[in-house]
Chains A and B, each alone.
Chain A
């Protein structure tokens, strides 16, 4: 039988890898828990709750560095929270078999983000959008790597919002942060610089997870003995992961990312096919 201590010590390297690869601890831990025989809906619900800790913990460190854009985050949270509530509600109703396949399919979309299109220096210079101008969605930060201040303006906020609604839906449904998907939307539609994008996404994930958790709390899916060790372990791991992230080479990270996503997809598809 799974013990809380082994779950805690399993969650630390998982949180570490989650932070390194950008997948997040829950995306990796939920398939492992399912493999260990935990019911999928329970794993999803507890994953969602533990994300509040991981995300808020690292946001607490990032927001001080003034790279994350709090205003843009607040604007996008209107969309992700609604998406997460809808997604979590869907999960409480549908069959677990569907969840295995949705989980695998969503993981597969994270392969898309591997090509980065926006570079730090080419963030959109003019105001292409009325809403964006009206809300003054812009920002600047000092980039250590370039040794200069990068200014940027947000484009297509409504289309970006729609993308975030979808990200929230997937996050709420699968109990994950959907960070890779959020970053894709923010870089490609909203044209945020990569560093702003990943830190802002982290900030939003905590609020999205809260919205999803409210549904799972009411559904009685939150198991104390499961989510307690998960929350502590993944957060410790994520903090450690954040420390070494900049020291690793991109190639190493990419191989790690593809290997992990591959095994997670195989596991969820296998489970799904077996439950048919």
Chain B
């Protein structure tokens, strides 16, 4: 921990987390916004739709991610870009746990390495098995 009498800036670890979260969210929201714009050009309207094709298909996240790149924009660019935005969004906090595990291991703080690793395992299992 760095000196506690100065809040601004934070430690290097806190700054990296801050950049990671910020970059992830901004990237994701830009992709979604561009996707919405493309949607208008592709479909000629911007209706919130209950069509089956508007729903992300029922699969676990890793297969979802793999298919996203394997299939490419087969359903049209608009939905693909929006889906990409959602994928980046889901990856943002996930990457944050990875970063934390790495940080605590490097700091040789094994108690917290274990705790963050456990959170990583819980999330990975849930993303992989659901």
- A78-B57 contact, Cβ under 8 Å, with A3-B48, A59-B21, A70-B14: no
B25 in contact with A53 (CB, 8 Å):
yes
* CB of A135 within 8 Å of the partner chain: yes
A211 in contact with B123 (CB, 8 Å):
yes
Q: Which residues of A contact B60 (CB under 8 A)?
A: 214, 217-218
Q: Which residues of B contact A221 (CB under 8 A)?
A: 55
Query: 1/0 per position for A47-83, CB-CB distance to B under 8 A?
Result: 0010011001101110111110011001101100110
* CB of A18 within 8 Å of the partner chain: no
Query: 1/0 per position for A199-221, CB-CB distance to B under 8 A?
Result: 00000001101110111011111
Cα distance, A65 to B54, chains bound together (Å):
39
Tell me, rounded to whole Å, the shortest Cβ–Cβ distance linking A193 to chain B: 13
Query: 1/0 per position for B11-27, CB-CB distance to A under 8 A?
Result: 10111011111101100
Tell me, rounded to whole Å, the shortest Cβ–Cβ distance linking B40 to chain A: 9
B119 in contact with A207 (CB, 8 Å):
yes
Chain B residue nearest in CB terms to A218: B130
Q: Which residues of B contact A232 (CB under 8 A)?
A: 29, 32-33, 36
* CB of A226 within 8 Å of the partner chain: yes
A229 in contact with B10 (CB, 8 Å):
no
B48 in contact with A7 (CB, 8 Å):
yes
A231 in contact with B89 (CB, 8 Å):
yes
* CB of A2 within 8 Å of the partner chain: yes
A4 in contact with B112 (CB, 8 Å):
no
Count contacts on B: residues with CB < 8 A to the other chain: 65
- A71-B112 contact, Cβ under 8 Å, with A57-B25, A149-B5, A210-B93: yes
Cα distance, A1 to B13, chains bound together (Å):
46
- A225-B93 contact, Cβ under 8 Å, with A66-B7, A81-B119, A220-B57: no
Kindly identify, within residues 65 to 86 of chain B, every residue whose CB is under 8 Å from any CB belonging to chain A.
Answer: 79, 82-83, 85-86
A65 in contact with B10 (CB, 8 Å):
yes
Instruction: Please tell me which one of the listed residues B8, B13, B36, B130 contacts residue A214 in the complex, with CB atoms under 8 A apart.
Output: B130
A interface, size bucket: 35 or more
B46 in contact with A220 (CB, 8 Å):
no
Q: Which residues of B contact A229 (CB under 8 A)?
A: 36, 48
Cα distance, A57 to B24, chains bound together (Å):
9
B48 in contact with A64 (CB, 8 Å):
no
Cα distance, A272 to B9, chains bound together (Å):
48
Tell me, rounded to whole Å, the shortest Cβ–Cβ distance linking B130 to chain A: 4
Instruction: Please tell me which one of the listed residues A60, A85, A151, A228 contacts residue B21 in the complex, with CB atoms under 8 A apart.
Output: A60
* CB of A140 within 8 Å of the partner chain: yes
Cα distance, A214 to B39, chains bound together (Å):
25
Kindly identify, within residues 88 to 124 of chain B, every residue whose CB is under 8 Å from any CB belonging to chain A.
Answer: 89-90, 92-94, 96-97, 100, 111-112, 115-116, 118-119, 122-123
Chain A residue nearest in CB terms to B31: A228
- A52-B8 contact, Cβ under 8 Å, with A57-B25, A74-B100, A228-B32: no
Cα distance, A214 to B11, chains bound together (Å):
31
* CB of A134 within 8 Å of the partner chain: yes
A218 in contact with B58 (CB, 8 Å):
yes
Cα distance, A78 to B121, chains bound together (Å):
10
Q: Which residues of A are in contact with B by a Cβ distance under 8 Å?
A: 1-5, 7-8, 38, 49, 52-53, 56-57, 59-61, 63-67, 70-71, 74-75, 77-78, 81-82, 85, 134-135, 140-142, 149, 151, 206-207, 209-211, 213-215, 217-229, 231-232, 235
